[in-house]
Amino acid sequence: MSDAIQIRKRDRRGEWQPAELPKMPPVFVWPPQPRNFAKWFFGYPGYLWPWNTTYAVVAILTLVYLTPDLASMKTFQFGWIAFIFVRNVIFLVLIVSVWHLLLYVRRVQGTDYKYSDRWLAKGNPTFLFGSQVLDNVFWTIISAIPVWTAFEVLTWWAQANSYIPSVDWREHPVYCLLLLIIIPAFREFHFYLIHRLIHWPPLYRTVHHLHHKNVNIGPWSGLAMHPVEHVLYFSGVLLHWIVPSHPLHIMYHLQHLAFVPSQGHSGFDQIVLTGQTKINNTHYIHYLHHKYFEVNYGGDGAVPLDKWFGTLHDGSDAAQEAMNQRFLARRKAQELARAGKSR
């Protein structure tokens, strides 16, 4: 099947899935696969390139040119705190707007490589202002950026006062490089834990349901969360309150947390630049989480937690059947529990 035909082939609900279903990276496999691991780690697309390397470069530039001197952050002062907040607003609005403008306003590639043929909701009372985009922008600006900034400010203040451990890159370059590389994998582990937590029914009803209003996702959906979820989500940076870290680790971690969700919620598998030139943006695993709710709690990267805990859905018929069987078993258990209480 040609690529042109495949990208337009949809089921009766307008759903599209990649011709090649997602595969778990060759990290936690036995026997080891050193050649495949090297190809995944260093290749394109892979663990380092293009996205993690790109975000690392942005973090370096931000730290060097757009971050106050650490010594000036020993005391809380309006000036440097406001500077960081405004910088974060500009960065996030710019980055998310690029994704949104190209894919959802100008629709430069139509629905090619889009997981759903539906566009973002308008006139829907489920969302604030009746608009999915305005709802998502509201929660991102009003809650996500202030929480992100608060974690950043507190971490800089703590490091400036030596309340948390730090490390000099020049003295420990290998350690620092390894820690930088590990941060995205740590993020997957942390995200899985908090994600399972907020799917606990009481927290889902009061907190996480806000994010899951976005069944059909778009770039602004990434950080459209309840403030409690934002606190849990950005708490991953507290790793650097325990593990000796360089300021670059902190900046990279926070910006990775802030920037990746818009990419991960773009709703598109590939971004077409010109003709046959495309950027790999595969986040089908997370798209399926928004579609089915109780699968794929983690990322789709180096740490296969969903596979280990039996919650992986890769889009295959076998995964769909396994999910259906889990649902039926859970419903039967609930019916038996209710019957027992009624006696």
For the stretch 198-241, pLDDT in tens is 999 999 999 999 999 999 999 999 999 999 999 999 999 999 99
Rounded CA separation 254/59 (Å) = 9
DSSP state of 204: I
For the stretch 105-146, pLDDT in tens is 999 999 999 999 999 999 999 999 999 999 999 999 999 999
Contact 166, 249 (CB under 8 A): no
Tokens of 109: 């590639």
* 3-class secondary-structure state, position 338: helix
* 3-class secondary-structure state, position 263: helix
Contact 247, 159 (CB under 8 A): yes
DSSP state of 237: G
Give the long-range contacts of residues 31-38, CB within 8 A, separation 24 or more: none
Give the long-range contacts of residues 6-11, CB within 8 A, separation 24 or more: 7/112, 7/113, 8/112, 10/117
Nearest Cα neighbor of 216 from 115, 110, 101, 102 is 115
DSSP state of 141: I
Rounded CA separation 300/27 (Å) = 12
Q: What is the mean pLDDT of residues 267-286?
A: 85
DSSP 23-80: ---SSS-SS--HHHHHHHHHSSSSSSTTHHHHHHHHHHHHHHHSS--GGGGSS--HHH
Contact 237, 254 (CB under 8 A): yes
The model's pTM: 0.95
Amino acid 45: pLDDT? 87
Tokens of 197: 């937590």
DSSP state of 310: T
Confidence of residue 73 (pLDDT cuts 50, 70, 90): very high
Confidence of residue 333 (pLDDT cuts 50, 70, 90): confident
- The residues facing 245 across adjacent strands are 166
Domain-wise residue ranges, the chain: 3-312
Roughly what angle, to the nearest 10 degrees, separates helices 173-198 and 247-264?
A: 40
The number of beta carbons lying within 10 Å of the beta carbon of residue 115 is 25
DSSP state of 294: S
User: Does residue 16 have a pLDDT over 70?
Assistant: yes
- The residues facing 277 across adjacent strands are 274
Beta-carbon contacts of residue 274 (< 8 Å; ≥ 6 apart): none
Q: What is the mean pLDDT of residues 101-106?
A: 96
pLDDT, the chain, mean: 93
Q: Cis (ω within 30 of 0) for the bond into 227?
A: no
Tokens of 147: 């929480």
Q: For the chain, give the longest Cα–Cα distance.
A: 70
- The residues facing 280 across adjacent strands are 270
